[in-house]
């Protein structure tokens, strides 16, 4: 059996924490079997390495390894992605397509963020786990596949089951063996080691001397909460490596790069952020734009459903709350946007670096969608930057709790999840 150290080296896993070593050991032990494994741990702890170890040390190593991020695939297409579809099974299905479970026959599928799977997909998955059978979307003929499934989640599954979001029977099928990866803050010994490794990597990448922490800065590094775990540590190491001229990093400098994510360190706590976090006019303006964008997405969803089902009455009945929401919000949003534009135009204190507010704003106000589109095209990059800032801000405000942050931003958790991945937060 390959040793823990050799495996860590092979997969670039840094750290000597006993819990990390136990997780790697478990992966080595279960690899030759076909036991289903559930990898658990907070976001950014390094869950993706475990299924790779399992696949590479198993008899399936010459078969395919497919990693699927269940949280990032839109609900409407996930069944087709995973199980394939028959030609003509829905609008746009112009040819029969194989899904991952067919393609990975003889190999391993890693289902990341499995807690995000919609319930109907969970039923299909359960069937594959129970008898290796699946149905393509639009087909009634069962197909066989021989795939090992390794799943991962950072969601508290017991809570998801209790809320009816995740099937209990599927949870037990997926988690014959659970491999837990500890959060970084519980691996104090590894924090500095990882930081030094990342600092050395970035020094090489950017052809600059390696940054070094003073003793005080090292203390701060070790005591910080690291809600984003290794991903966050890596990002901080990269930012400092690129931005700081002085390669010796002091406590004060490091502090500057550590957002307050609910750390209990007196030095970096700013108390709870105030309600006025989103209160500057410009930020509200962005918020309104995001809300509009969300409405457009909702409308797209509705249109897609209409196209798929072709039964307007049924869709209207099923989506009545969505339809009501869109049409009742429209007036509100229009009024809000108009008043902000008016304030900005009348010389409010904020400098308008992103939008050039037209001189005759009242004329422009007539068609907010035209206005929004124009902005989006011209200022797409700035808008993305602002979106990133707002997301960061609300994640900080809610200590990384995606649900609360998504509620504040007025987007779904799934969308927020995609954005976090997109911006590598």
Ligand X SMILES: Nc1ncnc2c1ncn2[C@@H]1O[C@H](COP(=O)(O)OP(=O)(O)OP(=O)(O)O)[C@@H](O)[C@H]1O
CB 28 within 8 A of CB 2: yes
- At residue 394's C-alpha, the angle toward residues 388 and 398, to 5°, is 145
Residue list 89-128, contact with ligand X (CB under 6 A): 112
Please choose, from the candidates 274, 237, 286, the residue with its C-alpha nearest in 3D space to the C-alpha of residue 258.
237
CB 228 within 8 A of CB 400: yes
Q: How far apart are CA 202 and CA 211, in angstroms?
A: 9
Measured from the CB atom, is 69 or 176 closer to ligand X?
Answer: 69
Q: How many chain residues interact with ligand X (CB under 6 A)? A: 17
Measured from the CB atom, is 211 or 230 closer to ligand X?
Answer: 230
> Which residue stretch of 28-36, 47-55, 242-250, 289-297 sits at the interface with ligand X (rule: CB under 6 A)?
47-55
Q: What is the DSSP string of 74-132?
A: -HHHHHHHHH-B-TTSSTT--S-B--HHHHTTTSEEEEETGGG--HHHHHHHHHHHHHS
Measured from the CB atom, is 109 or 288 closer to ligand X?
Answer: 109
Please choose, from the candidates 376, 399, 373, the residue with its C-alpha nearest in 3D space to the C-alpha of residue 386.
376
Measured from the CB atom, is 143 or 154 closer to ligand X?
Answer: 154
Interface residue with ligand X among 23, 41, 86, 368 (CB under 6 A) is 41
Smallest distance from ligand X to CB 410, Å: 22
Q: How far apart are CA 124 and CA 81, in angstroms?
A: 12
> Which residue stretch of 40-48, 87-95, 124-132, 133-141 sits at the interface with ligand X (rule: CB under 6 A)?
40-48
CB 214 within 8 A of CB 251: yes
Interface residue with ligand X among 34, 48, 105, 374 (CB under 6 A) is 48
Interface residue with ligand X among 4, 24, 40, 44 (CB under 6 A) is 44
For residue 278, what is the DSSP state? G
> Which residue stretch of 12-20, 29-37, 127-135, 394-402 sits at the interface with ligand X (rule: CB under 6 A)?
12-20
Q: How far apart are CA 144 and CA 81, in angstroms?
A: 17
Residue list 143-162, contact with ligand X (CB under 6 A): 154
> Which residue stretch of 26-34, 82-90, 161-169, 228-236 sits at the interface with ligand X (rule: CB under 6 A)?
228-236
Is position 414 an interface residue for ligand X (rule: CB under 6 A)? no
Q: How far apart are CA 123 and CA 127, in angstroms?
A: 6
**How far are the Cα atoms of 54, 55, 105, 130 from residue 108, in angstroms, in the given order?**
9, 6, 8, 16
Interface residue with ligand X among 27, 37, 38, 43 (CB under 6 A) is 43
Q: Cβ-closest residue to ligand X?
A: 46
The token pair that represents 246 in the structure block: 């002085």
Measured from the CB atom, is 48 or 318 closer to ligand X?
Answer: 48
Measured from the CB atom, is 143 or 229 closer to ligand X?
Answer: 229
User: CB-based contacts of 219: which residues, under 8 Å, 6+ apart?
Assistant: 251
Q: How far apart are CA 120 and CA 134, in angstroms?
A: 13
Q: What is the x/- site pattern for ligand X, positions 187-226, by CB under 6 A?
A: ----------------------------------------
Measured from the CB atom, is 49 or 80 closer to ligand X?
Answer: 49
> Which residue stretch of 45-53, 74-82, 305-313, 350-358 sits at the interface with ligand X (rule: CB under 6 A)?
45-53
Residue with tokens 């609300």: 394
Is position 13 an interface residue for ligand X (rule: CB under 6 A)? yes
Residue list 229-248, contact with ligand X (CB under 6 A): 230-231, 234
The token pair that represents 167 in the structure block: 């099937």
Interface residue with ligand X among 15, 51, 99, 182 (CB under 6 A) is 15
Measured from the CB atom, is 24 or 315 closer to ligand X?
Answer: 24
Contacting residues toward ligand X, per CB under 6 A: 12-15, 41, 43-49, 112, 154, 230-231, 234
């Amino acid at each position: 059996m390959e040793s823990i150290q050799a495996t860590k080296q092979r997969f670039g896993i840094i750290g000597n924490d006993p819990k990390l070593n136990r997780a790697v050991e478990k992966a080595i032990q279960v690899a030759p079997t076909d036991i289903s494994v559930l990898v658990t741990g907070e976001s950014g702890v390094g869950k993706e390495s475990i299924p790779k170890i399992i696949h590479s040390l198993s008899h399936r190593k010459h078969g395919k390894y497919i990693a699927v991020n269940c949280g990032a695939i839109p609900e409407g297409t996930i069944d087709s992605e995973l199980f394939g579809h028959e030609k003509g099974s829905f609008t746009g299905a112009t040819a029969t397509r194989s899904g991952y479970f067919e393609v990975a026959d003889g190999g391993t599928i890693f289902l990341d963020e499995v807690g995000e799977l919609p319930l109907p997909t969970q039923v299909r998955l359960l069937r594959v786990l129970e008898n290796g059978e699946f149905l393509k979307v639009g087909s009634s003929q069962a197909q066989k596949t021989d795939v090992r499934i390794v799943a991962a989640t950072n969601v508290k599954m017991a809570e998801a089951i209790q809320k009816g979001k995740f099937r209990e029977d599927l949870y037990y099928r997926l988690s014959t063996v659970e491999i837990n990866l500890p959060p970084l803050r519980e691996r104090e010994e590894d924090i500095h080691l990882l930081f030094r490794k990342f600092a050395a990597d970035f020094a090489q990448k950017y052809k600059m001397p390696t940054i070094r922490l003073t003793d005080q800065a090292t203390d701060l590094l070790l005591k910080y909460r690291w809600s984003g775990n290794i991903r966050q540590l890596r990002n901080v190491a990269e930012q400092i490596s690129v931005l700081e001229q002085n390669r010796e990093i002091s406590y004060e400098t490091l502090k500057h790069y550590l957002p307050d994510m609910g750390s209990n360190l007196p030095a970096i706590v700013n108390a709870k952020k105030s309600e006025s976090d989103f209160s500057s006019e410009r930020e509200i303006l962005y918020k309104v734009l995001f809300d509009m964008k969300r409405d457009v997405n909702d409308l797209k969803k509705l249109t897609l459903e209409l196209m798929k089902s072709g039964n307007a009455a049924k869709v209207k009945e099923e989506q009545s709350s969505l339809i009501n929401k869109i049409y009742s919000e429209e007036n509100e949003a229009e009024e809000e946007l108009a008043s902000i534009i008016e304030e900005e135009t009348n010389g409010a204190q904020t400098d308008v670096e992103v939008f050039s507010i037209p001189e005759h704003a009242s004329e422009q106000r007539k068609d907010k969608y035209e206005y929004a589109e124009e902005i989006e095209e011209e200022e797409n990059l700035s808008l993305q930057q602002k979106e990133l800032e707002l997301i960061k801000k609300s994640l900080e405000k809610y200590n990384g709790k995606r649900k609360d942050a998504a509620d504040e931003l007025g987007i779904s958790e799934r969308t927020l999840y995609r954005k976090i991945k997109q911006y590598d937060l």
